[in-house]
Structure 1
């Protein structure tokens, strides 16, 4: 019995100890904090694709708002087409390189384990175009069109060119007629060209040669011929090898079509005419106000960039880049308007005859009498256009003579008006000449009007020639109410130009904050026309870089075949 009592006592003691031990244990852990979702990339489909195509990035924790995700392909940010929490559809961007894909969403960045490969797109087919086509045509961006010889769009027919289309011009050796005319596109009177590019997909006219082999003068250029008046006889032959005669029409509102977001590169080949001539990058012969022309860049022309032969056309947002002869060539009684134009020259490239920014005249050198004042439509009209907000840049440092002449070379009784513009780095700023006394009448009457002009970093600001002395022209230019200004080379830095203004590969023309160019624009009745955009700045730029997206300042490296 004693043994049983002892056993019971031991068992009770062990039970008590167990209860104490159990009671001394910690309370159970609280509910664990959930792990935050992690952004990750699990796959890329397809893993190889060309620029411009779409790929699908699959993973976790993406934002369903496309704008809240950032996708980079080989270090280049891509456009997102659609987004869900597990899939992003993106466009392979231009410039993308082989490498991993990264996604940033919700403050986290994930990188793919595998690399994405940028594939070469298939070569576009090439269609040769020659002669005259008596039919309406549409040229599409999935095909490259190659001009052989002078290609004409005749009266009553229309050529439509899709945004993003590439047109290549051949040299004279490929003229199918064997007459040594280089490839060129000519839209004849009553014909129309509808070339509406976009900032993202400009229409490109360029050399037929491959990247690295292109040169100024590889092909002819683009020509529009309209029914707006010119100051030549109806029997006068069209300029620079274009077939036909002037015919003396008087329809100032004529419509030759639309050119918007268009680049023209490496034009200006010699024409087999006697004497030899060259088309400019864009040549307008009697083009009327019904024609829409804006956002056009002419680069590396072996001749002029833009050439006006009469007409009334109105143009905006023009770029002339590293061309050989004049940037803005004006003749044959042009009486239209233009606003916002910039030219940048290569100081080592020019014409031995003297390249100019503006070159304006009213009649041929063989004529001896001044052309009479402006008339409404037909007859012999005086060249009297209005330009506003242009910037012409030649030498960044002190200019030298030789290949360059004047920022504004105005002769033969022209009555041009130029407002709120900058001439920089030319041997001469303004050169005004006339064989007779008609130019003096232009000055005293205000028919020729130069206001709000800045001549900067020029060797000789003002030159008079012929019937005008330099003193007369200087007195005219310096009249206080004209608000013109001369900035010496030593003070040129005060204009606060952009540090990349004179870059020959990637220029930026926006003036620095505080630049005097951003203020001081003058007003005048000639720029009160509703065509002109009212601005307060002088030169082509305020704070909006209207060259962004659609221009190209390194076309030599472009591969246009895919």
Structure 2
């Protein structure tokens, strides 16, 4: 009986083992491993700025704008996207290094570097007599004075880098720094983008660049001016201004363009500026332009009718906005941020505005003195430094002088602008200039002066405008101007004006965000009737295309 029981138990045990073995068999499909954000390949793995690159990986966003791609630390625009591939263009300013992709707050990096290849260098000298295009796959080196002659158009692609050779590279041996000169009747079509600005810069290596490394950009047009037709440009540039008087003359386009380390002062009153406009007409388009580290004025207009918006003057040496010889154009949204350690021996100003050339020259010499210099500027922010007025020449050759030095029969008008950190706010210089102000053809309204040692002054004993007369004009209630001893009440936040990483928006409760005045010449249709004073409201229009550290930017 026990034998039978044992056999039954044994059979039961085998059955249980068989059932257990059967139940362990896995007929289910394995659960897939969840995909994570990853970069797999970068093709090609090297190339110059402007190269199309395809990044493969996983968990990308199919909407291009939802993917952030950095070449080392420089952002690139994503032009096409799927969940497994991104198409981008190597951006200007990129350096060799890892490529990172950020999606939904998560960031991954490539396993190996993208190597930025040096672009071929094309040397340019002498005359350009036929139309040509400069492309972003090359670097263009200016040697001496380079003229685009009448009838020719120079087209420059977005992302192109042009370097100005120093005086030692002048092929004529005359010690002229590389300078691009657009003659009257010629055109420059330099149309960059926010993602790919066109850059004119020094030929020196990063860390070795300095003020006035090369000449600059000079554009000559056929618009009216108040000089003799035989008058030539400054700085040894050949040619004459002529008497064409074509108000809407078209010299081309400058859009999303940076000009870095230009400006050579050859002798007193004989200079090449960062960008110089001679009799340039209103048919010319100028917007989103930055001039940095100019060894002379950042911008100077000699006659002409050209208009502009969104201009930046950064760490210039002499004046920011210099207007002469009957310039009558309009400018809106202009920013100047200055290094308090660098100023010119002539006394650096924000605005310097003249009608005729110098002491002793009568206002009625050429063209009976007409047209008068009568530009209109609006929404300007000029900051030497948000704190104490600068009275120390530091590493420069001189001191700062005035936020606005208006003299020699000028008829300039400035609206809704803010100036801080100058030893003087307004210097109203000359009986004829005061007469224009009193008559209302020179108009200053909606202006804020802050942190100045002398807010408003005349020229005292020179030509008879007293401080009291100048102050009475500026302070008239109808002008709605403001004088502050402490710029902190503007709620700008001094940390926002760090020279290497500035941020320009006023705080949300800043008094600058209201009380703009759009009267008189400010009512012109060219101007967007903003509520704010100064260059910024709630949008920072410098984002993306400007560079506040060009000293350390590699351009290869």
TM score, norm. by length of structure 2: 0.87
Does 2:413 correspond to 1:420?
Answer: no
**Matches of residues 234-313 of structure 1 in structure 2 within 5 Å?**
234-271=229-266, 277-313=270-306
| Conservation of the 8 A alpha-carbon contact between 2:277 and 2:300 | yes
| Conservation of the 8 A alpha-carbon contact between 2:69 and 2:99 | no
Kindly provide the CA deviation profile for residues 227-247 of structure 1, in whole angstroms up to 9, marking residues without a partner as x: 111111223233332212232
Give me the whole-angstrom Cα distance separating, in 2, the residues matched to 1:68 and 1:415: 50
User: Cα–Cα, structure 1 residues 398 and 154, in superposed 2: closer, same or farther, change >3 Å?
Assistant: same
Across the two proteins, how many residue pairs are aligned to each other? 541
Give me the whole-angstrom Cα distance separating, in 2, the residues matched to 1:173 and 1:18: 100
What displacement does 1:291 show? 0.6
Structure 2: which 5+ residue stretches go unaligned? 392-397
For 1:355, the equivalent position in structure 2 comes to 348
**Matches of residues 216-235 of structure 1 in structure 2 within 5 Å?**
216-235=211-230
- Partner residue of 1:339 out of 325, 332, 335: 332
Note the aligned Cα RMSD (angstroms).
3.4
What displacement does 1:506 show? 1.4
Does 2:437 correspond to 1:443?
Answer: yes
SS of the residue corresponding to residue 116 of structure 1 reads coil
For 1:387, the equivalent position in structure 2 comes to 377
- Partner residue of 1:460 out of 443, 448, 454: 454
| Conservation of the 8 A alpha-carbon contact between 2:178 and 2:214 | yes
Kindly provide the CA deviation profile for residues 356-409 of structure 1, in whole angstroms up to 9, marking residues without a partner as x: 00000111224354459xx9x996221111000001101332113351000000
**Matches of residues 161-180 of structure 1 in structure 2 within 5 Å?**
161-180=156-175
What displacement does 1:64 show? 4.9
TM score, norm. by length of structure 1: 0.86
- Partner residue of 1:398 out of 385, 388, 399: 388
- Partner residue of 2:404 out of 405, 408, 413: 408
User: Cα–Cα, structure 1 residues 397 and 76, in superposed 2: closer, same or farther, change >3 Å?
Assistant: closer
For 2:35, the equivalent position in structure 1 comes to 38
Give me the whole-angstrom Cα distance separating, in 2, the residues matched to 1:486 and 1:178: 52
Kindly provide the CA deviation profile for residues 312-348 of structure 1, in whole angstroms up to 9, marking residues without a partner as x: 1101111001111000011111111111100111111
User: Cα–Cα, structure 1 residues 369 and 127, in superposed 2: closer, same or farther, change >3 Å?
Assistant: same
Structure 1: which 5+ residue stretches go unaligned? 1-5
For 2:394, the equivalent position in structure 1 comes to none
| Conservation of the 8 A alpha-carbon contact between 2:50 and 2:136 | no
Greater Rg, structure 1 or structure 2? 1
Give me the whole-angstrom Cα distance separating, in 2, the residues matched to 1:455 and 1:42: 53
What displacement does 1:12 show? 11
Give me the whole-angstrom Cα distance separating, in 1, the residues matched to 2:73 and 2:223: 52
Give me the whole-angstrom Cα distance separating, in 2, the residues matched to 1:72 and 1:142: 20
What displacement does 1:468 show? 1.3
